[in-house]
Amino acid sequence: MADEQLTDKIEAWLKGKLPTAEAAAFQAEVAADPALAEQVELHRLTLRAREHLSEQRLQQNVLAWLEGVDMDVAEEEPEKKPKPHRISYPYRNRFRAAAALLFLVGAFAFYQIWKSGAEKQRIAALEAEIRQRDSLLFELKQRPSADPAKMDSLSIENAQLRLQLQEAGKSTGKQPDPIAYYTKPKDLGGMIRMGEEPLVEQLLKEGDAFFQKNDMMKQAEEKARAALKIDSTNRDALRLLAHALFNQQHFLEAETEFEKLQNAYAQSSAGAKEGEWNRLLCYRALSADAGQRALFIAALGAILNDPDHPYYIQAKRMKTADGKNEK
């Protein structure tokens, strides 16, 4: 890359003008190349120095205006002292106050622009990391000998990254919404069935209490897993586990549990349809990966081909919204 092109690219990256994918790739280059990182830091300092000089020039012009001095004449003829045009005392204070206010507004606007650019770069970097882990998780899932501990670790890291992405989106107005169209169930405690273990019933009730508190999804997951150890086919426990994983943004694991839930019900039942819809939402949340994107498109098409499907209207809205976002 020519020096001039590299300089332009560094400046565009620092100002947040690079496309998301290109910005993430360039950030990876900077992290891997100490010499490039040094160039970027030098360029950052140069830009700040320019901005500082511009601010000083603005202050000089404002003060000169308040005193009635023509700065262009003063610079062209430094040996001749320009005759100031004095402003009456009452008006001079008003002008100074107005100029100070104008300067503060300008400084605040500049800070907001700079902050927005920095946050956009951070969002781009987080999105790139999430895509990378989603792809790796999808590949690991296809392998029969995949290490469960590694998959769990990657899922937890990805969930944490998604939470950081949501927090970053709040400050920029860009709200990532990986679980749009999801409806949180109000009761996952299950129904009392003939012959059901009292301990399973108790675990499900405790798990649902945790689930409804939003910030205790991990505890809800643990209760569901404990119930499944006693009764591995309990559909209420499967449902609680799937939704707890989904709300922790462990989408790959949640999709597997929703598939089990879907298969546990008759295909025409409401339970099976719920499982099918939530599997689609998992694919959508992971759709930065090409394989998951293909699964999402296929699942969405299947629901749209069934006008009697309970989630048909939502699927139509999703298709319309996603189509607009891609344009």
Q: Note whether 147 and 248 are same-domain residues.
A: no
Of 130, 157, 172, which closes a domain? 172
Of 138, 172, 206, which closes a domain? 172
* Arithmetic mean of pLDDT over the chain: 75
Give the mean pLDDT of 252-271. Answer: 87
Q: Note whether 39 and 168 are same-domain residues.
A: yes
Of 131, 155, 172, which closes a domain? 172
- Under DSSP, the state recorded for 82 is P
CA distance linking residue 115 with residue 117, whole number of Å: 5
What global pTM score does this model have?
0.52
Exposure string (b/e) for 205-230, b if CB count within 10 Å is 16 or more? Answer: ebbbebbeeeebbebbbbbbebbbee
| Domain membership flag for residue 183 | no
| Domain membership flag for residue 72 | yes
At 198, list the tokens: 């009292």
How many residues are there in the chain? 327
Q: Note whether 209 and 315 are same-domain residues.
A: yes
pLDDT of residue 171: 53
| Domain membership flag for residue 185 | no
CA distance linking residue 252 with residue 176, whole number of Å: 18
Are 36 and 29 a contacting pair, CB within 8 Å? yes
Q: Note whether 203 and 153 are same-domain residues.
A: no
pLDDT of residue 194: 43
Closest CA to 155 of 13, 282, 6: 282
Q: Note whether 87 and 222 are same-domain residues.
A: no
Give the mean pLDDT of 182-197. Answer: 65
pLDDT of residue 2: 62
CA distance linking residue 23 with residue 124, whole number of Å: 7
Helix boundaries (H) for the chain: 3-14, 20-32, 34-67, 71-76, 89-142, 148-172, 198-211, 217-230, 235-247, 251-264, 270-285, 290-304, 312-326
| Domain membership flag for residue 187 | no
Q: Note whether 267 and 304 are same-domain residues.
A: yes
| Domain membership flag for residue 177 | no
Q: Note whether 166 and 128 are same-domain residues.
A: yes
Q: Which domain covers residue 37, as residue numbers? A: 3-172
Give the mean pLDDT of 287-313. Answer: 89
| Domain membership flag for residue 178 | no
Q: Note whether 30 and 144 are same-domain residues.
A: yes
Q: Note whether 137 and 284 are same-domain residues.
A: no
What phi and psi, each to the nearest 5 degrees, are found at residue 77? -125, 75
What tens digit of pLDDT does each residue of 83-93 get?
A: 555 555 555 56
CA distance linking residue 160 with residue 222, whole number of Å: 19
Top mean-pLDDT range of 73-82, 165-174, 218-227: 218-227
| Domain membership flag for residue 189 | no
Using the predicted structure, report yes or no on whether residue 50 has a pLDDT greater than 60.
yes
In the chain, the number of structural domains is: 2
User: Looking at residue 253, which CATH number applies to its domain?
Assistant: 1.25.40.10
